[in-house]
Structure 1
Amino acid sequence: MDALASVVNTSAPSLYISLLSITFNPTAWNIVARNEYRKKTITRAFGSPYHGCYFLAILIFTFGLVRDHLYQCALLDQPHVPLLPGPLATLVPVLLFIVGQVFVLTSTYALGITGTFLGDYFGILMSHRVEGFPFNVLRDPMYVGSTMCFAATALWYERPAGLLITLYVYILYLIALRYEGPFTDMIYSSRSEVKKEE
């Protein structure tokens, strides 16, 4: 317990605020998206599934920036402990962050705005499954890339607590994928069934 206390400041409110924001994002977007799929609440409010999806995209992107800022604030309130020797302390987090951002940005480019920001829940479906890079390397490159960026930031600031937060992010994303993946598959399966009947 003493070893944990030396690397994690559990009395810092910023730690819990950061964990709360990290938990909020995938949880809220899954709830909002499923409601949209079933009741079309946002589509009705904006008069168009595309306008609704773009609105949700702005919200998701903005809350993502807030989450990242709160994570950085939390790290600065945690004990500083050198984690990697010499030049690796700079090189590893920089490379990890670059690779993570490549996964995030290329998957966003491959999917487009509506593909990235839950357009399928609005009924905006892609004509075919994206199979090029980075989806030919990873099944969920956006979540993997995001997790890599959390880890890179923890290593950059040399905060072991950040690595524990990164582990929490990874577990949370795995849970989210257990809900998102099958639901998205069901949406596309339903479309296939409709096309067969036409």
Structure 2
Amino acid sequence: MDSILDTSATSLYFSLFSIAFNPTAWNIVARNEYKHKTITRLLGGNARHGCYFLALLIFSFGILRDHLYQLALIDQPRVPLLPEPLATLLPIVLFAAGQLCVLSSTYALGITGTFLGDYFGILMDHRVEGFPFNVLRDPMYVGSTLCFTATALWYERPAGLLITMYVYIVYLIALRFEGPFTDMIYSKRAAKKE
């Protein structure tokens, strides 16, 4: 295991922390917003401004998380994982597929749909069922996981594949909280309409 994972590298722990921090923090902040409207009140009572502010935070911390992941990979042992041309082609294809999932999800949902607008009371008129949601239930998380995998393969770092498994587990846990809570928000709206 030592030949593929350097546990003495502090960059590894910063990366793992940031990976867990992001979905955990956004779930806590969003639930607080739903119950107490803290961000909305801080921004003069405008829910859209609150959602855009949270979107900026989520996006910025996502960039930081990706940077910390890249730094962690650089500090890990390099081991060729795939023969050429797969060593080059597979990471490119996986990264492109991951970005397609993330970007098409963002396009389909819009900023408020992507960045937890429903917790601010900004609800969509109907469930998005077009691409990529007609192919995947959680295309953002799937796309992000594909990008983590692609990056590990590109840098030829087996530790990156272990980190990617950790990412997948963190996302599964986050979905156990996000999915039911979002369903509850829309169920309450449907009950009010009846």
Q: Same fold (TM over 0.5)?
A: yes
Determine the structure 2 residue equivalent to 1:16. 13
Structure 1 CA distance for aligned equivalents of residues 41 and 11 of structure 2 = 37
Provide Cα deviations, 1:8-57, integer angstroms capped at 9, x if missing partner: 00000000000001010000000000000000000101120000000000
Determine the structure 1 residue equivalent to 2:32. 35
Determine if the alignment matches structure 1 residue 166 to structure 2 residue 125. Answer: no
Determine the structure 2 residue equivalent to 1:182. 180
Mapping 1:148-159, distance limit 5 Å = 148-159=146-157
Provide Cα deviations, 1:93-136, integer angstroms capped at 9, x if missing partner: 00000000000000000000000000000000000000000000
Identity of aligned residues (%): 78
- Runs of 4+ off more than 4 Å: none
SS of equivalent to 1:113? helix
Determine if the alignment matches structure 1 residue 86 to structure 2 residue 84. Answer: yes
Q: Return the letter of the residue paired with 1:33.
A: A
Determine the structure 2 residue equivalent to 1:63. 61
SS of equivalent to 2:39? helix
Task: Give the TM-score of the pair, scaled to structure 1.
Answer: 0.97
CA RMSD of aligned residues (A): 0.3
The alignment covers a number of residue pairs equal to 193
Shift of 1:86: 1.2
Provide Cα deviations, 1:58-78, integer angstroms capped at 9, x if missing partner: 000000000000000000000
SS of equivalent to 2:130? coil
Q: Return the letter of the residue paired with 1:6.
A: S
Task: Give the TM-score of the pair, scaled to structure 2.
Answer: 0.99
Equivalent of residue 124 in structure 1, options 116, 122, 147: 122
SS of equivalent to 2:131? coil
Unaligned runs of 5+ in 2: none
Structure 2 CA distance for aligned equivalents of residues 62 and 33 of structure 1 = 16
Unaligned runs of 5+ in 1: none
Structure 2 CA distance for aligned equivalents of residues 76 and 12 of structure 1 = 10
